[in-house]
Amino acid sequence: MSEGDGVTTLVTGGAGYIGIPLCEELQESGRRVRVLDALLHGQDDLAAALRERGVDVLVGDVRDPEARATALAGVDEVVHLAAIVGDPACAVDPEGSREVNVEGSLALVREAEAAGVRRFVFASTCSNYGRMADPSVPITEDGELAPVSRYAEQKVAVEEHLLHADLGSLAPTCVRFATVYGVAPRMRFDLTVNEFTRDLWSGRRLDVFGEQFWRPYVHVRDAARGVRLVLDQPVETVGGRVFNVGHSDENYRKLDIVEAIRKTVTGGEVEYVSRTEDPRDYKVSFERIHRELGYVTTMTVPDGVTEVVAALDEGRFADPYARRHRNTDR
């Protein structure tokens, strides 16, 4: 038997960028998979494809009590990906982002506990580390959280509840993803690696802000594999804990990413621009998940660049600048 045989897992946001690869991973593990997704980005075709794979797809908003109750019925595990993702999207509707990212999340936690759910994996972000005093020393899960964006502040608030509240028999795990990249069914081109690659491939001018600041990166399918790995562990190993999801060698400056793209793409123009609005600067250690769970990533940022370029060359996206490939109208 595989680890997930007989287990039903709810994935909120399961028709999203990370969600669809995660559903595939969970089905491969033998789990029954249910999705709750509002399809904010026009993923009706992707939801239909999930249904064809045997996923139970419920279209609904995590803020809706009836939708939550229906989604949680008979569920053993929850992976909570659903969110207004990223500070630009949160800035468009600050109140709406709080309702989804904080209030909806906390309501889902309460109702999951009441429904007898055993495990709750919360998708968080390495942006929680904010701007480090010394970014040359990779920060661990026990390091200080210093969020500088509304999105990260909201994630920290939910983490604090999960890690310190009395949740009865519900075992929470927080996974802090590095910045995600790579090709996936619900493609996003508003993420650094994907966006930079698309713009230079298209021959456009690319304005790069904060090119010297450090960030960690992880491929979208490696992010999904990390969640499955957490769920496959004994609850005593991962319950009440935090894991950074990525690889310690995959911390890059934006300057490094541009150089990696330039090895594959010669078009476009790059302009480095000084701006202080986004002061995040952090290197992250991913030794805990590697050492304790045996997690190893399969892709590097240069691999991801090659993958995105190949997909663009093949015409896999009718319009890589279409609204459906980003989380805001900008």
What's the domain range around 191? 182-216+250-283+299-325
Give the pair of three-digit tokens for residue 133: 């005093």
In a domain, 140, yes or no: yes
Q: Got the DSSP string for 232-288?
A: HS-HHHHTTEEEEES-TT-EEEHHHHHHHHHTT---SEEEEE---S---B--B--HH
What's the pLDDT tens digit per position in 57-73? 999 999 999 999 999 99
Do 194 and 262 lie in one domain? The reply is: yes
Query: Which residues are CB-neighbours of 275 under 8 A, at least 6 positions away?
Result: 209, 210
- 175 neighbors 228 (Cβ within 8 angstroms): no
Q: What element of type H or E holds 198?
A: helix 192-201
Do 102 and 203 lie in one domain? The reply is: no
Do 101 and 203 lie in one domain? The reply is: no
In a domain, 124, yes or no: yes
Question: d(Cα 100, Cα 13) in Å, to the nearest integer?
Answer: 12
Give the pair of three-digit tokens for residue 253: 């400056």
Given pLDDT bands bounded at 50, 70 and 90, which one contains residue 274? confident
The model's pTM is 0.96
Angle of CA points 113, 159, 128, to nearest 5°: 160
Tell me whether strands 214-219 and 251-253 are parallel, antiparallel or unpaired: antiparallel
In a domain, 19, yes or no: yes
Given pLDDT bands bounded at 50, 70 and 90, which one contains residue 1? very low
In a domain, 237, yes or no: yes
In a domain, 211, yes or no: yes
pLDDT, residue 134, reads: 82
* 3-state secondary structure at position 87: helix
Do 118 and 145 lie in one domain? The reply is: yes
Do 172 and 319 lie in one domain? The reply is: no
In a domain, 330, yes or no: no
Do 225 and 272 lie in one domain? The reply is: no
In a domain, 2, yes or no: no
Kindly report the CATH number assigned to the domain that includes residue 82.
Answer: 3.40.50.720
Kindly report the CATH number assigned to the domain that includes residue 313.
Answer: 3.90.25.10
In a domain, 3, yes or no: no
Question: d(Cα 116, Cα 74) in Å, to the nearest integer?
Answer: 9
Do 125 and 191 lie in one domain? The reply is: no
Do 209 and 312 lie in one domain? The reply is: yes
What's the pLDDT tens digit per position in 107-162? 999 999 999 999 999 999 999 999 887 878 999 999 999 999 999 999 999 999 99
Quick one: how far is CA 285 from the chain centroid? 17
Question: d(Cα 69, Cα 73) in Å, to the nearest integer?
Answer: 6
What's the pLDDT tens digit per position in 174-215? 999 999 999 999 999 999 999 999 999 999 999 999 899 999
Structural domain count of the chain: 2
- 38 neighbors 61 (Cβ within 8 angstroms): yes
- 27 neighbors 9 (Cβ within 8 angstroms): no
Give the pair of three-digit tokens for residue 246: 């990525």
Do 204 and 162 lie in one domain? The reply is: no
Q: What element of type H or E holds 107?
A: helix 105-114
Question: d(Cα 198, Cα 184) in Å, to the nearest integer?
Answer: 14
Do 98 and 194 lie in one domain? The reply is: no
What's the pLDDT tens digit per position in 203-260? 999 999 989 999 999 999 999 999 999 999 999 999 999 999 999 999 999 999 999 9
CA nearest 229: which of 293, 300, 299?
293
CA separation, residue 219 to residues 39, 68, 116, 182 (Å): 22, 29, 33, 5
pLDDT, residue 136, reads: 82
Q: What element of type H or E holds 58?
A: strand 56-59
One-letter amino acid at 275 equals: R
- 24 neighbors 51 (Cβ within 8 angstroms): no
Mean pLDDT to the nearest integer, 32-60: 97
Q: Which residue reads 């009395």 in tokens?
A: 166
Q: How many CB atoms lie within 10 A of CB 2?
A: 11
Do 187 and 241 lie in one domain? The reply is: no
Do 261 and 166 lie in one domain? The reply is: no
